[in-house]
Amino acid sequence: MKKYFIGISILATSLFLAACGASNQSEQSGTSASTEKIQAIATFYPMYEFTKEVLGDEGEVELLIPAGTEPHDYEPSAKDVAKISQADAFVYNSEELETWVDSIEDSLDDTTLVIEASEKIDLIESADDHDHDHDHDHEKDPHVWTDPVMAIKEVETIRDQLSEKYPDKKAAFEKNAAAYIEKLQELDDDFRAAFADAENTTFVTQHAAFGYLAKQYGLTQKSIAGISPDQEPSPSRLAELKHYVEDHGVKVIYFEENANKKVAETLSKETGVKLAVLNPLESLTTQQMEDGETYLTIMRKNLEALKESIQ
């Protein structure tokens, strides 16, 4: 009889422990689901970095447009669209740059949060003062990210929209964004200090990617090409620029590492003015990313490069 009761006791204990184990496993499974990382996709490098900084440990970000690829001419493949649809969040700059977004939105899953980072920014009219021998798709200038102040606005938009969809992670997003925005504000302060008393306020660039930066800091951008870097100027435009460089005592002509610099080199040779890099951050190469280059490090290099022309 005693053995019978002992057996019943052991069985009851085993059932109780099994039930506890199942309950714990269920709780752990629920916890795992609630803490699963947000999967985001961002179109090109600045959007990638801004999103990554806001998400922090709460998510992972994939770069849609391959490193070193020009975003102006990019068109997503069916595989890319499927990838975007499977993501929790999709971040892009604006339909002025990613002109294809409107055509794919209907095919995206309803669960995908679509964030237009420049949503709260009034885009300025295209500042390209070159001749219009070539048609282009841009009526307004999309290059807001080259201005640290506009970059802050984009980070804030990404933060706010992610917080709205994931309210339980809002505190983390706000903390992450605040830390990054502080660095952007320091960058803004340094740009303001550098150009506060500038004597020469004009700089010549390969393409019109720095209109917002110029406007923010009281500078004037003179571009060889227009909004898109692949727009080649006519001979008359080059002749006009040659006179402009000579008449205004321009010291530097800026080219881009990840674009064809042939025209900039031609203008440099004809005027005897040196070349320097001004990076529009439209794409970073794989090597640059592996070397730890970021939006902040490249913008600081841009600041130092611009000082040569302005001071």
Write out the DSSP string of 42-72: ESSHHHHHHHHHHHGGGEEEEESSPTT--GG
What is the structure's pLDDT at 18?
41
Q: What is the pLDDT of residue 311?
A: 65
Tell me whether domains 38-190 and 197-310 share a fold: yes
The residue among 299, 227, 216, 232 whose CA lies nearest residue 264 is: 232
Give the residue extent of every domain in the chain: 38-190, 197-310
Q: What is the pLDDT of residues 110-130, one digit of tens each?
A: 899 999 999 999 999 875 544
Cβ–Cβ < 8 Å for 210, 280: yes
Q: How far apart are CA 32 and CA 259, in angstroms?
A: 45
Mean pLDDT of 247-256: 87
pLDDT at 257: 76
Average pLDDT score over residue span 212-216: 96
- Span 13-30, mean pLDDT? 41
| 69 close to 98: Cβ distance less than 8 angstroms | no
Asked if 227 contacts 141 with a C-beta cutoff of 8 angstroms, the reply is yes
Region 206-227: mean pLDDT is: 88
Q: What's the confidence (pLDDT) of residue 27? A: 41
pLDDT at residue 132 tops 90: no
What is the CATH architecture of 38-190? 3-Layer(aba) Sandwich (3.40)
pTM: 0.83
Separation CA 76–CA 99 (nearest Å): 11
Handedness of CA 13, 14, 17, 23 (dihedral sign): negative
Q: What is the CATH number of domain 197-310?
A: 3.40.50.1980
Count CB neighbours of 266 within 10 A.
15
Residue (of 49, 44, 132, 42) closest to 90 by Cα position: 42
- When mean pLDDT is compared across 1-15, 33-47, 82-96, the lowest value belongs to 1-15
Beta bridge partners of 8: none
- Of all residues in the chain, the percent with pLDDT exceeding 70 is 81
Tokens of 290: 């592996």
Please tell me what DSSP assigns to residue 197. Answer: T
The whole-number average pLDDT for the span 284-310 is: 93
What does the pLDDT look like over 26-84, one tens digit per residue? 344 333 334 689 999 999 999 999 999 999 999 999 999 998 888 988 999 999 999 99
Name the residue among 267, 269, 273 with its Cα closest to residue 249: 273
pLDDT at 232 over 90: no
Average of per-residue pLDDT values in the chain = 84
> According to the model, what pLDDT value does residue 227 have?
62
| pLDDT-based confidence at residue 195 (cuts at 50, 70, 90) | very high
- Name the CA radius of gyration of the chain, rounded: 26
